[in-house]
Amino acid sequence: KNQVEQSPQSLIILEGKNCTLQCNYTVSPFSNLRWYKQDTGRGPVSLTIMTFSENTKSNGRYTATLDADTKQSSLHITASQLSDSASYICVVGLSGYSTLTFGKGTMLLVSP
Amino acid sequence: DGGITQSPKYLFRKEGQNVTLSCEQNLNHDAMYWYRQDPGQGLRLIYYSQIVNDFQKGDIAEGYSVSREKKESFPLTVTSAQKNPTAFYLCASSIDRQETQYFGPGTRLLVL
């Protein structure tokens, strides 16, 4: 069964600190992996997308990594800001199919 | 101002009533989608459309219906057959099924 597991479920960090969110997947055949940021009560916004051949992708203070061999991805947030408080969702696409598998998300709270 | 819009932001449904959620995009995207988001769960696909006048059932299509008469519009009807409709509904669009999906702001449906 295709699954995407994210950890931790929730996280609280102090403003200015760094953090890393984890995503493990069992989706096969793998096509791509995306990280989205979802503010409370709003639609998700794409942060990064990586294909099988890419192992890192940055978007400002957000850096995503992908290890396709171990089927793991991480999202590293540097110098966190209050506006980073949101849910971060890992999404995996299947090769040859149009289906996406969504993780449940990690809820991040950045505290002043 | 390009983007994807959903209306209304909040919608109340009475028992036995059908309600329709609006989704419009001016991004010239071929593909459009409807997702349902419940607390503590990942997004689940209700319906998707790859082209005008064509749409496919997703994982949880029972109790829902859609139409795609225009490229820009993909309305979702929540019928009385959907026994647990309370959720946050998200519409998305993409150039095609393999590309990044752009999400609307969402509609929160509540049952009276």
Q: What is the pLDDT of residues A20-57, one digit of tens each?
A: 999 999 988 888 999 999 999 999 999 999 998 899 99
Query: Cα separation of B11 and A44, whole Å?
Result: 20
Is a pLDDT exceeding 60 seen at residue B13?
yes
Q: pLDDT band for position A77 (50/70/90)?
A: very high
Query: Cα separation of A24 and A68, whole Å?
Result: 10
Q: pLDDT band for position A98 (50/70/90)?
A: low
* Residues B57-110 pLDDT 10s: 999 999 999 999 999 999 999 998 888 999 999 999 998 877 789 999 999 999
B35 neighbors B46 (Cβ within 8 angstroms): yes
Contacts of B100 in chain A (CB under 8 A): 34, 46, 49
Which pLDDT belongs to residue B9?
94
Q: pLDDT band for position B44 (50/70/90)?
A: very high
> What residue in A sits closest to B40 (Cα-Cα)?
A104
SS3 state of residue A51: strand
Which pLDDT belongs to residue A66?
96
Q: Phi then psi for B100, rounded to 5 degrees?
A: -60, 135
> b/e string for B63-100 if b means 16 or more Cβ within 10 A?
ebbbebeebbebbbebeeebeebebbbbbbbbeebeee
Contacts of B50 in chain A (CB under 8 A): 98
Mean pLDDT of all residues in A2-21: 96
B10 neighbors B108 (Cβ within 8 angstroms): yes
Q: Cβ contact (<8 Å) for A105 and B42?
A: yes
Give the angle subtended at the CA of B16 by the CAs of B15 and B18, to the nearest 5°.
Answer: 110
Name every residue whose Cβ is closer than 8 Å to that of residue B82 and which is 6 or more positions away in sequence.
B62, B63, B64
Q: Quick check: B45 contacting A, CB < 8 Å?
A: yes
Which pLDDT belongs to residue B16?
85
Q: Quick check: B101 contacting A, CB < 8 Å?
A: yes
Query: Cα separation of B109 and B34, whole Å?
Result: 14
Looking only at the bridges linking them, the beta strands covering A45-51 and A30-38 are antiparallel
Among partner residues A42, A46, A104, which is closest to B41 by beta-carbon distance? Answer: A104
Query: Cα separation of A10 and A21, whole Å?
Result: 10
B74/chain A closest Cα distance in angstroms: 16
Query: Cα separation of B87 and B111, whole Å?
Result: 9
A48 neighbors A32 (Cβ within 8 angstroms): no
Which pLDDT belongs to residue A79?
98
